[in-house]
Structure 1
């Protein structure tokens, strides 16, 4: 036998395998191509009274032109249905509690929690309550979505992968998309109030006031002043512990890790052209595709265009400019729901109301589970709202929540398209059926303003800060505030307005808004101070502020850490990195990573006795959103080292601090890199994946965005983590849109073979000033 025979056999085998792989890749490519959207040509829809032209540029940004708003809604629905249907499906299932039907029992716990709110029934009720003209716009949008889905050569690739069939879109599904944003931006079980009530009830007053103040020196409200310093408590922290207690530790994630946003606006006195200039960047989870879809459309009856970020699922502009007025949103973090502890009879089957004992209404909700048996959930309802859980003493809690009311979900954002002034835009605030936002506006005449976008309940007999019984009728909601009662700021003397999820009001207006976990004011203060450092602004100036990664918040922690390491020879290399940290949350800074994580570990160690104490009453207790003002207590302990507040697991404050640093260094060392390469970017590496990529790894090969090492962090304007951050950045002056800037993570299309799947993502990563206005037309589609 020739020695060449085995080689020939191996060669033939290798060629055969290569051919099979090539055939497989070609088959996958052809399979994927079937679900690509239609970009060019003419389509006879049979459903339009007025034709529509859709012009797309190289980035996939459409300009929709028609003389009919209904036809524009149809075209936007068509584009959403073609480009983003699976994303839309996840949104409606998320708030309806129907994800298990699609992905199996991995989503069952989520569906159980959400289904108690019965959002699908509420969505249908809210659609029926819409004005006739809005129902018409929504109906055409729904028709467009379903035609877009039908016109794909094959169902979206995600359904092929899951072996599922997409079901048609409905008007109620569009309202469910609004409710899905509630679930992202507000707690469906009132977490902040639940934990705050428990802490206030169980902790000694002085310890509660010290660890959980309402605010402090970092505050930067629009109206009012920063809070004063915290007072050291008298109670010894060891008094919380029993002899047999083993102190509990829970890793401390960033205390400003919130789904929120930044926005600000400067008046015409501070711009070269005299128009107001607005900046907005909404911080949300980062996925493939982006939550937003960029679009522009003609505004019928005018010569202007709407340019906006839309939410696939609805026919509305979420943030953008109509050529006269620009607006942006940040989450208010105000209090828009109340937990009500129920007073039960001895049998536990009735609860007390102002009109006597009442029986619970029990409604079954069937949850379909892919690959399993359906589950029936019994929803217990009261006159105030559904039962969502129990408090720290085991008392059932009903939830009175704006999201449950008709006022909580509507399409009144459509009205923003035609407002002519900032004042008109502010007037819409109370009418907007959205999760409550800081609505910041500026118009082409230079006027600026702020208000709450969303309906505000009129509380009687309670301030909403604690869970109290409503059984005797002295505590209740008396409808909603009118437009004249809504907090509002218009054309302040400073010509500047800013918000960043922190407290914006004081006094009576703060009482109206309440507190559901305001972010620490560091980010907001850095923005405010930067705005007051200049007397004129261009679009680039505001973009630079959006990208500001100066670590002003951590400067004092860096200085204290240097003092701690003085004379510690074994930490000489660490001290050198901390000293030369660059004072920025820079991807290439080792020192920033050390300082940032040292502070969080210090927070974990110093609050562990409180956590241990609370878990005596609630086994799964965690600080959650109640931890966002912990900085004031942490800094006071770090600075003054009070002996009676030292965690008993440590012999001294120095030992605790060095243990915190050692824990940080040990965690960094797991990367397997020398200290000089353990940069902030190594930890803060983008992980922007398709939702299915978390379960099916090969999906990431085609769809994941590059694993860029990112600058920025949560306590500064360039808010950034591996999976959350600025979902978009916008800088715009209405009437001067040709100079406006827009960034969006990922790209327009969810399809990995789309010519604009990731177009624009590099601008988002690198901060390049890419335009808001759509570019030269590359593709033209006519809908007849």
Structure 2
């Protein structure tokens, strides 16, 4: 027996040693993926040496002799901190995820191959101006220099997958294609309307998306409802393995007369899905002709939101409808009807590699309107083709962004906006003399219809007659009020000559911006920074009088309602009221949709509750509830308080918004691995909600904040070195790096940083020298 025990102890010791060695080996491998300290490296294509200094927050200052040398250095820096993020983006956009993750992500690959993002990017690259192509090629050289130095140690993820493939100029264009799809999702709403048209009466269907009456009616077609239902269930997975990001943004500017500095001020904070890493990477880029600073996006060689020596700019999402689904009429197995008669489909084969399974050959059909997306769900008898402005040829967005980086005035920025063909965005801009707002992108000119639902494609009645762009789209310069603002509300009146769309965000954030700008004659940079983290919910303030009048029984509902009686709409961490309100509205929204007969699987496609609930509690509610929707309020409050008491205890006064509402930053791959995913991500209690300027929007099923301001910028045109910035969660994409999460608390608490020419402390120096072309 003793011998057996000795053997057992020996074996246990061996196991412990092996585990320790494995842990040490893993730690060592992770350490090798960290970028490291001072470095000298050769970059092919550089015309002259480039110096880079990086501060303790991971923000680089790049000093180079030319634009292309700056682009090469930026590519090196992006790859140094975000190579895995860049590789995952291009795989998703190219339809190559299954080669990495196996059959589970095949639906995503099928969709992006059907859309043909990579082949369209190839065509766009060939048509770009030479200077834009030179920037993209120089950037690719910089990325590839880092890959050449590190190979599979370029990032932790490559320890599993092997060294990344070389970067190309086309890969950079894919970033723009991906962002355009993220920011243009009307086709999903069209599918939802079509799928629900067979289940709901017209009045109820229209009330799910409050707005003007629906114009066109989709013609009946065999299998059409089935195709729409199945597609609506599949498409929101874009871009797997990510969740579909919620899109919103704030931006405003005050002119010199309304600014305490004597020059315009501009603030911007785009809202997209949270993740680790985030979307943005701060940098300062200096050449003999000028300085750029602000938010770059790993994958592209430009400052996307930021400033140069003369102007500053930011973007918000317009919400324009730039996509239509066309119901094609088959004229046989290989053709479809057009106004000129039958026409054969354009057909191509896509070969998709699948890890752990056989490769797949995907047959893709296109019509004159665009790719046939109904083929994604197999035969249904219906043929739905997608027309999308961001899939149209001649996309010069990269050239437009380069022109914006070079712009010297508001007028120059307006000209650059006309060249940014996709996506459709509101460009807020300021120079030293004034402020302006322009709309980028191409908006379809529809012969008929309002883009609300799929339309017949055979006779051409609903075809597009080209695009509106540039000066044809809304724009405003030097406003009499002395300020401009946009928070995704409708950008132009209903009688604007170009039809822009029908599905808009509510105006709560825009009204809050206006109220704060109207407080006093002039505003300071600190005022604008404080506005970005304002936590007042105007939707709540609007609804509170109605909610306080609800009759509820004694107990939890009465106690919760009493707390709302003294609430002013603030959504601070220590308050119980934001939790009670948001839980109540979530239950009420679900009850309204259920009463309207909307299937549970389709409810996420309706208008956001911040639009739907106020509409339902008004005269429009009768179409949804068959009467007064306010009758649902007591039961919704009872359900909400029961849910909250089970989670947070029986005393509503002890509930805290910050306990339930955490900003969640997840790694796009490692989040699937339970505890490991938690270690690779980050969480922090956050104020705000869906309707506050401190945007902290929630996903379904929890109160966690999953989208909001991944970037904040407050730009001082009197002295660009005083401009303020913040990104979240950090500069690095390596989960093992101290820079992966270094900004989270400062972001939550409203902190900002400057990017002056000389940092107070230099953490890393890089010396990049010309190297031979590969």
Distance in 1 (alpha carbons) for counterparts of 2:711 and 2:33: 27
Matches within 5 A, 1:522-533: 522-533=508-519
Which of 202, 211, 216 is 1:214 aligned to? Answer: 211
Bigger mean CA deviation after superposition, 118-127 or 21-30? 21-30
Deviation at 1:209, TM superposition (A): 5.1
The residue that corresponds to 2:241 in the other structure is none
- In structure 2, relative to structure 1, the CA distance for the partners of 1:510 and 1:602 (3 Å cut) is farther
**Cα shift readout 1:473-518 (whole Å, capped 9, x = no counterpart):** 4443333335332321111101111111221111443743223x31
**1:662-717 deviations in whole A, cap 9, x for unaligned?**
22123223425344443222221122121122112354454322x32110111121
Shift of the 579–14 alpha-carbon distance from structure 1 to 2, 3 Å rule, reads: farther
What is the RMSD of the two structures over their aligned residues, measured on CA atoms? Answer: 3.3
Relative distance call for 1:645 and 1:372 in structure 2 (3 A) is closer
Q: Which residue of 2 aligns with 1:671?
A: 647
Which of 677, 680, 684 matches 1:708? 684
Matches of 1:673 and 1:147 in 2, distance apart? 56
Q: 1:44 to 1:96 in 2, by over 3 A?
A: closer
What is the match of residue 742 of structure 1?
Answer: 725
The reply on whether 1:343 has 2:329 as its aligned counterpart is yes
Q: CA deviation at 1:208?
A: 4.8
- Aligned twin of 2:706: 723
Once the two structures are overlaid, the 10-residue window that deviates more, 483-492 or 709-718, is: 483-492
Further displaced range: 279-288 or 565-574: 565-574
Deviation at 1:147, TM superposition (A): 0.7
Seen in structure 2, the aligned counterparts of structure 1 residues 30 and 425 have a Cα distance that, compared at 3 Å, is same
Q: Summarize deviations over 1:154-179 as a string: whole Å, max 9, x none.
A: 42344345344421111111111111
Aligned twin of 1:56: 54
Partner of 2:90: 92
Query: What's the CA shift for 1:123?
Result: 1.1
Tell me the equivalent position of 2:446: 459
Pairwise CA distance, 1:18 = 7.3
The answer to whether structure 1 residue 574 and structure 2 residue 560 are counterparts is yes
Retained in 2: the 8 A contact 1:324–1:735? no
Counting matched residue pairs gives 726
What is the distance in 1 between the residues matched to 2:601 and 2:680? 36
Gaps of 5+ in 2: 214-243, 698-704, 770-774
Matched, 1:366 2:348: no
Alpha-carbon distance in 1 for matches of 2:49, 2:725? 29
Taking a change above 3 Å as real, the CA distance of residues 150 and 353 of structure 1, as seen in their structure-2 partners, is: same
Give CA deviations for 1:198-223 in whole Å, capped at 9, x if unaligned: 667975554455553328xxxxxxxx
Once structures 1 and 2 are overlaid, which stretch shifts more, 285-294 or 626-635?
626-635
- 2:754 corresponds in structure 1 to 771
2:590 is aligned with 1:604: yes
- Corresponding residue of 2:615: 633
Match of 2:483 among 487, 492, 496: 496
1:481 aligns with 2:468: yes
Equivalent in the alignment of 1:191: 188
* CA distance in structure 1 between the partners assigned to 2:667 and 2:245 by the alignment: 21
- 1:354 deviates by 1.9
- The one of 416, 420, 430 equivalent to 2:404 is 416
Alpha carbons 1:331, 1:501 under 8 Å: kept: yes
Go from structure 1 to structure 2 and tell me whether the alpha carbon gap of 1:257 and 1:379 turns closer, same or farther (over 3 Å shift): closer
Residues 227-626 of structure 1: pairs in structure 2 closer than 5 A? 258-300=246-288, 302=289, 304-345=290-331, 347=332, 349-389=334-374, 395-408=382-395, 410-412=397-399, 413-445=401-433, 447-481=434-468, 483-509=470-496, 511-515=498-502, 517-565=503-551, 568-569=554-555, 571-581=557-567, 583-612=569-598, 621-622=602-603, 624=605, 626=607
- Secondary structure at the residue paired with 1:135? helix
Alignment check: 8 A CA contact 2:319 2:488 kept: yes
What is the distance in 2 between the residues matched to 1:14 and 1:444? Answer: 72
Q: Aligned equivalents of 1:529 and 1:554: distance in 2? A: 16
Give the match's secondary structure for 1:584: coil
User: Gaps spanning 5+ residues in structure 1: where?
Assistant: 216-226, 228-255
Give the 3-state SS of the residue equivalent to 1:630 in structure 2. helix
SS of the residue aligned with 2:326? strand
Please give the secondary structure, in 2, of the residue aligned with 1:429.
Answer: helix
On the 8 A contact 2:46/2:69 being kept in 1, the answer is: yes
State whether residues 446 and 462 of structure 2, in contact with CA within 8 Å, keep that contact through their aligned partners in structure 1: yes
Aligned partner of 1:235 in structure 2 is none
Query: Structure 2 CA distance, aligned partners of 1:282 and 1:204?
Result: 37
Identify which of 112, 136, 139 aligns with 1:138. Answer: 136
Give the secondary-structure state (helix, strand or coil) at the position aligned to 2:270. strand
1:55 match: secondary structure: strand
SS at match of 1:63: strand
- Residues 709/155 of structure 1: CA separation in 2 closer, same or farther (3 Å cut): same
Mean Cα displacement is larger for which, 688-697 or 123-132?
688-697
* Structure 1 stretch displaced more, 118-127 or 461-470: 461-470
Query: 196-205 or 504-513: which moved more?
Result: 196-205
TM-score, normalising length: structure 2: 0.86
Of 620, 624, 633 in structure 2, the residue corresponding to residue 657 of structure 1 is 633
Which residue does 1:754 correspond to in 2?
737
Q: Is the 8 A contact 1:461 1:474 kept in 2?
A: yes
Contact kept, 8 Å, 1:324 with 1:444, in 2: the verdict is yes
- 1:585, 1:634 → 2: CA distance? 24
2:260 and 2:475 map into 1 onto residues whose CA distance is 27
Q: TM-score, normalised by structure 1?
A: 0.85
Q: CA separation in 1, counterparts of 2:381 and 2:604?
A: 18
Distance of aligned partners of 1:200 and 1:22 in 2 relative to their CA distance in 1, 3 Å threshold = closer
User: 71-80 or 565-574: which moved more?
Assistant: 565-574
For the structure 1 residues 164 and 780, does the alpha-carbon distance in structure 2 shift closer, same or farther, using more than 3 Å as the test?
Answer: closer
| SS of residue matched to 1:134 | helix
Q: For residues 179 and 533 of structure 1, do their structure 2 counterparts lie closer, same or farther at Cα, with a shift above 3 Å needed? A: same
* Distance change >3 Å, CA 11–CA 647, structure 1 → 2: farther
Paired residue for 1:689, among 666, 669, 673?
Answer: 666
Shift of 1:401: 0.8
Aligned residues of 1:539 and 1:739 also touching (Cα < 8 A): no
Q: Structure 1 residue 260: deviation in Å?
A: 1.6
Aligned equivalents of 1:308 and 1:184: distance in 2? 22
Partner residue, 1:223? none
**Conserved in 2, the CA contact under 8 Å of 1:282 and 1:726?**
yes
> Which stretch of structure 1 is more off in the superposition, 502-511 or 757-766?
502-511
Quick one: distance in 2 between partners of 1:599 and 1:257?
22
